[in-house]
């Protein structure tokens, strides 16, 4: 084995090494592009489907293997449609020459400042019956929805959030999406839930919050414009009539405690493309 490896290394040219590095960089770039979108889950499904196909062949399950092969053929044809937003974003970044990457490490103190600013802003808006819709990105990236709004990439502050949601301003009707300690975009469009069992008291803003939490593992904070009531949604469920301290504790649970439990894997998810 060692002799074969030494023979392979002895025949490798500089151009071969460069070829390997270019392919590795391209694959990693593709991974970064889809990591912050819902396409990650679709890609995992394709990988599992491919593994099932190999296992069925190994076990000589001819009928199952034939069905999986035909299904894989259909999916390969459908890939350009399924990954259309990611392909468009990749071509845009390629044309703009955005190949650089940066990292941000968020500790518990940083998260505490972000949560305190959001809770302070939400409390003031609740007292003044100003509607608000704030999305916290977690493991599943929300670039698809960030692209529907006005990109900001500004540091989170209670003053900024208060100004965004002032009534009759250009951005107050949409949602704010927060990634770590930055407001990535404002005025974003969110999908509405299709759950018809919801109370008629819940308007478009609340239905958009529920719909967004159905699509990803994000946490969405809502302030009612009619009553000033504070709510949050997660996993397609809405939790209403929260006070400031209760909301702060829930956000700490979702954004700090769970990330701490993920340990080293969370640090790998901190790498983001510089846009």
- pLDDT tens for each residue of 103-122: 456 777 888 899 999 999 99
pLDDT at 15: 73
Four-residue CA torsion sign, 219, 199, 170, 93: positive
- Rounded distance between C-alpha atoms, residue 80 and residue 87, angstroms: 8
- Res. 148: pLDDT tops 60: yes
Q: What is the mean pLDDT of residues 31-53?
A: 71
- Rounded distance between C-alpha atoms, residue 41 and residue 218, angstroms: 15
Other C-beta atoms closer than 10 Å to the C-beta of 201 total 11
The architecture in CATH of the region 103-273 reads 3-Layer(aba) Sandwich (3.40)
Band the pLDDT of 275: cuts 50, 70, 90: very low
- ∠40-139-36 over CA atoms, to 5°? 45
Band the pLDDT of 273: cuts 50, 70, 90: very low
Sort strands 237-242 and 175-179 into parallel, antiparallel or unpaired.
unpaired
Q: Which residue has the higher pLDDT, 29 or 138?
A: 138
- ∠232-195-205 over CA atoms, to 5°? 45
Q: What is the mean pLDDT of residues 27-49?
A: 69
Band the pLDDT of 272: cuts 50, 70, 90: very low
pLDDT at 267: 44
Q: What is the mean pLDDT of residues 131-160?
A: 90
Most confidently modeled range among 47-61, 115-129, 183-197: 115-129
> Helix (H, G, I), strand (E, B), or coil: what is residue 153?
strand
Q: Minimum mean pLDDT among 8-17, 19-28, 131-140, 197-206: which range?
A: 8-17
Q: What is the mean pLDDT of residues 64-80?
A: 78
Residue 230, class by beta-carbon neighbours within 10 Å (0-12 exposed, 13-18 middle, 19+ buried)?
A: buried
Band the pLDDT of 269: cuts 50, 70, 90: very low
Four-residue CA torsion sign, 12, 18, 24, 30: negative
pLDDT at 189: 93
Query: Domain-by-domain residue ranges, the chain?
Result: 2-99, 103-273
Sort strands 132-136 and 150-155 into parallel, antiparallel or unpaired.
unpaired
What pTM value is reported for the model? 0.64
């Amino acid at each position: 084995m060692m002799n074969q490896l030494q023979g392979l290394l002895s025949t490798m040219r500089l151009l071969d090494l460069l070829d390997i590095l270019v392919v590795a960089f391209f694959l990693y770039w593709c991974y970064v592009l889809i990591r912050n979108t819902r396409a990650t889950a679709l890609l995992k499904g394709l990988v599992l489907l491919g593994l099932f196909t190999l296992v069925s062949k190994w076990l000589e399950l001819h009928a199952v293997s034939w069905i999986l092969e035909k299904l894989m053929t259909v999916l390969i044809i459908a890939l350009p449609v399924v990954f259309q937003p990611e392909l468009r974003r990749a071509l845009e970044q390629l044309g703009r020459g955005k190949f650089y990457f940066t990292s941000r490490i968020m500790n518990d103190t940083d998260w505490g400042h972000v949560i305190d600013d959001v809770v302070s802003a939400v409390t003031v808006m609740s007292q003044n019956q100003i509607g608000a819709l704030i999305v916290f990105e977690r493991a599943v990236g929300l670039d698809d929805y960030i692209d529907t709004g006005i990109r900001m990439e500004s540091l989170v502050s209670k003053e900024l959030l208060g100004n965004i949601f002032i009534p009759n301003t250009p951005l107050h009707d949409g949602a704010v999406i927060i990634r770590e300690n930055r407001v990535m975009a404002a005025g974003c469009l969110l999908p509405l839930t299709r759950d018809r069992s919801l109370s008629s008291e819940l308007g478009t803003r609340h239905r958009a919050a529920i719909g967004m939490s159905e699509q990803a593992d994000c946490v969405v904070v809502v302030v009612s414009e009619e009553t000033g009531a504070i709510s949050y949604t997660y996993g397609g469920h809405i939790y209403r009539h929260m006070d400031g301290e209760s909301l702060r504790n829930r956000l700490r649970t979702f954004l700090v405690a769970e990330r701490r439990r993920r340990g080293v894997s969370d640090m790998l998810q901190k790498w983001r493309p510089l846009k």
